[in-house]
Amino acid sequence: MNTNIYTPIQTEVISIEIESAIEWTFRIKWEGTKPSPGQFFQLSIPLIGEAPISVSGIGENFIEMTIRNVGRVTESVFRLKPGDKIYLRGPYGNKFPIEKFHDRHLIIAAGGSGVAPVRGLINSIETNPEKVKQLTLLFGFRKPSAIIFKNDIERWSKSFPTLITVDEAEAGWNGKTGVIPQHLKELSITDKSVCDIIIVGPPAMMRFTALAYLELGFKTEQIWLSFERHMSCGVGKCGHCKIDNVYVCLDGPIFNYEKARHLVD
Ligand X SMILES: Cc1cc2nc3c(=O)[nH]c(=O)nc-3n(C[C@H](O)[C@H](O)[C@H](O)COP(=O)(O)OP(=O)(O)OC[C@H]3O[C@@H](n4cnc5c(N)ncnc54)[C@H](O)[C@@H]3O)c2cc1C
Q: How far is the CB of 242 from ligand FES (least distance, A)?
A: 6
Residue 234 makes contact with ligand FES by CB under 6 A: yes
* Cβ nearer to ligand FES, comparing 216 with 238: 238
Q: Which residues are at the interface with ligand X (CB under 6 A)?
A: 40, 49, 51-54, 65-68, 70-74, 113, 116, 228-229, 231, 253
Of residues 96 through 155, those in contact with ligand FES by CB under 6 A are none
* Cβ nearer to ligand FES, comparing 72 with 237: 237
Residue 53 makes contact with ligand FES by CB under 6 A: no
* Cβ nearer to ligand FES, comparing 131 with 242: 242
By CB under 6 A, name the one of 139, 247, 255, 257 that touches ligand FES: 247
By CB under 6 A, name the one of 28, 132, 233, 246 that touches ligand FES: 233
Q: How far is the CB of 51 from ligand FES (least distance, A)?
A: 12
Residues 6+ apart with CB under 8 A from 156: 122, 126, 137, 162
When CB distances are held under 5 to 8 angstroms depending on the partner's kind, the choice from ligand X, ligand FES, none that residue 234 binds is: ligand FES
* Cβ nearer to ligand FES, comparing 166 with 248: 248
When CB distances are held under 5 to 8 angstroms depending on the partner's kind, the choice from ligand X, ligand FES, none that residue 163 binds is: none
* Cβ nearer to ligand FES, comparing 92 with 139: 92
The residue among 265, 122, 162 whose CA lies nearest residue 204 is: 265
Phi/psi for 122 (5° steps) reads: -65, -40
Q: What is the 3-state secondary structure (H, E, C) of the chain?
A: CCCCCCCCEEEEEEEEEECCCCEEEEEEECCCCCCCCCCEEEEEECCCEEEEEECCEEECCEEEEEEECCCHHHHHHCCCCCCCEEEEEEEECCCCCHHHHCCCEEEEEEEHHHHHHHHHHHHHHHHCHHHCCEEEEEEEECCHHHCCCHHHHHHHHHHCCEEEEECCCCCCCCCEECCHHHHHHHCCCCCHHHEEEEEECCHHHHHHHHHHHHHCCCCHHHEEEECCCCCCCCCCCCCCCEECCEEHHHHCCEEEHHHHHHHCC
Q: How far is the CB of 241 from ligand X (least distance, A)?
A: 7
Residue 73 makes contact with ligand FES by CB under 6 A: no
Tell me the per-residue interface mask from 189 to 228 with ligand FES, x by CB under 6 A, - otherwise. Answer: ----------------------------------------
Question: Residue 263, Cβ neighbours under 10 Å: how many?
Answer: 19
Residue 231 makes contact with ligand FES by CB under 6 A: yes
Per CB under 6 A, residues contacting ligand FES are 231-234, 236-242, 247, 249
